[in-house]
Structure 1
């Protein structure tokens, strides 16, 4: 049985979670302070919501969202264009044998939260929720 099959169906390991959070904080700090030598990227305010790492810690996928959700494709392109410089900052902070390759994706959890809020505020859903409360 291969090592990757062992992790199928299970969540990330504690090490993956720790490294992912360390990378997330590092990316957030670097982007907030404008330490990248790209004026286009420094003009953007980007939130790093989560970073997931592969089981071997060689790939880190950062889920990001520009402020207000404006120009997400432009933000992804700017981050990808500067991934080598961002990796250098991550390499300084982490004590890993290999600095993970960075991938960037749009964080859609904010949209999902908005959709959930809209769903819970719907009259029919509210009626069903309150009907369930009365039965108890």
Structure 2
């Protein structure tokens, strides 16, 4: 979640317009008041695609995050660190295997090919109702 301007270091937050809708491609904060350096944050999500193809959904989410963060001056893909939130209704037929396919698609294939790391993340495995 981007800083909503409490610190005064927000260059671009994720909310846009008079109704503050979170549609900006990227949120950018400055590291301090006397520098041009800072952090950029972007999201990617393609959960509806997972109904058809779990691996494709994960790859599309990474691709969306990368195209969104490209709106900031990142310089090199090597500077990007990803955080993954693995969501799955564990225990439902096919969902455990689908989650495995998604994790493998980006954790063992796409991200290593792009030299991207996913050093942090969380799981939301209790999403079933």
Would you call these one fold, judging by a TM-score over 0.5?
no
- Richer in helix (by share): 1
Of structures 1 and 2, the larger Rg is shown by: 1
TM-score by length of 2: 0.31
TM-score by length of 1: 0.30
